[in-house]
Chain A
Amino acid sequence: MKTNGARFLQSLKIPFELREYDVDPDDLSAISVAKKVGMPPEQVFKTLLTTGGTDAFVFAVIPGNAELDFKKLARAAGLRKAEMVSLRDVQPLTGYIRGGVTVFGAKKAHPVYIDETVILFDQISVSAGTRGTQLILKPEDYIRAAEALDVPVTTADLTKDGVRLTEEEHR
């Protein structure tokens, strides 16, 4: 299915692949999508719309198996705080429904913050702008396309920290 996201990439002559999967409305998780499109979850990036207050919206693009660290996002974006946009506001603000949000072809472009692990991989996957269809492309092409939206595009550490093994935990 040709989507707004795909059309946007085409207009920039950026190579990509479209991969379709069966949608389970009860499980829209990125991990489940990763399984269905046959990619490791850390390579399937989810696009989250967050807000730092009135009319301050930023996209956070993070690996499918990671949790967004709002403090880190706020720090990276120079916001006092950041939180998820409520589900009912996602479609009015982006034109996309949950599970189908992408930064490309959204109603309005917002600054894009991408987790820095994106450059680890040869290919990543993001939603094509509709449930059931994923875009697969090179991370550098994803960043290039996001920059073409004429918004700030930043890569930063956005996800929650890992486990610590301290002396006390040895006991």
Chain B
Amino acid sequence: MTDREAASSTICARVENVSKLFGSFAALRQVSVDLLRGKCYVLIGENGAGKSTLLRVLAGLLRPTGGKVTIFGEGEPHDVRDRIGYMSHAPMLYDEFTGQENLRYFASLYPGQKCLDPAEALRQVGLDPNLTRPLGQYSQGMRQRTSLARVLMPVPELLLLDEPFSNMDIESTRQMVELLAGFRHSSRTIVITTHQREHAAPIADWVLRLKGGRVAECVPGSPSL
């Protein structure tokens, strides 16, 4: 294996000069970032800075207006979407179902794909799979963790989390960060958007500050977990 091949094998996602326009509004402007395997990237910035747009482009939910995104050195996000986990700001779960019922339903949407057992996915995020109450009666922290369990079921290699700590109490946040630290150690790449930079600090390898659709600053983090 040449040096170049060895280097490319460590790259999980390559974003090259990516721009995304909504009409004449440039949500992303020529963003270039390499995301390495087993690293956690925290995207910060004010509303409208482009954080969620970049995450959605990485997830293949938005096609860039210009530039190129290559995931796992293989293709565009859409080509490898079964290996990408995307947790949106909204929980995308059904309030009337229990946690396990929700996950069983979502598992049925991945026919032919190896998925974690729903009960196991719930255990991984620290939830009791046998809870009988409907999701509508969960605390915000429990809902967020259920949402994360849904994303983890297909065992994604690239985990994209949009504001995972919003509306969570300190203890729930701490638990989720510890959980994510475990995924990072298993060579998965994590990208988190957050307004609460301090919450993600224990796992942040890099902090990218976005501003006006551009990466204004890249600062190495000092992860402690």
Chain A interface (Cβ < 8 Å from any Cβ of B): 42, 63, 66, 116-117, 119-120, 155, 157, 159, 161-167, 169-170
Contact = CB atoms under 8 A, between A and B. Distances in A.
Nearest to B210: A162
B208 interface: yes
A155 B24 contact: yes
A163 B215 contact: yes
A163 B216 contact: yes
B136 interface: no
Given A120-B48, A155-B24, A165 B212 contact: no
A162 B30 CA distance: 8
A166 B32 contact: yes
A167 B11 CA distance: 7
Nearest to A40: B46
Interface string B196-224: 00000000001010011111111000000
B140 interface: no
A170 B34 contact: yes
Interface SS of A by simple majority: mixed
User: Which are the 5 A-B pairs with shortest beta-carbon distances?
Assistant: A162-B214, A164-B32, A167-B34, A165-B218, A162-B215
24 contacts: A42-B211, A116-B24, A116-B26, A119-B25, A120-B25, A155-B24, A157-B29, A161-B29, A161-B214, A162-B215, A163-B215, A163-B217, A164-B33, A165-B32, A165-B33, A165-B206, A165-B208, A165-B218, A166-B33, A166-B34, A167-B7, A169-B218, A170-B36, A170-B39
Interface in B3-60: 7, 10-11, 24-26, 29-34, 36, 39, 48
Interface of B: 7, 10-11, 24-26, 29-34, 36, 39, 48, 206, 208, 211-218
Nearest to B214: A162
Contacts of B31: 162
B214 to A, nearest CB: 3
Nearest to B32: A164
B217 A42 contact: no
Contacts of B216: 162-163
A43 to B, nearest CB: 11
Given A120-B212, A163-B215, A165-B215, 13 more contacts: A116-B24, A117-B213, A120-B25, A120-B48, A159-B212, A161-B29, A163-B217, A163-B218, A164-B32, A165-B33, A165-B34, A167-B34, A169-B218
B33 A157 contact: no
Contact of B212 (A63, A163, A167, A169): A63
A167 B30 contact: no
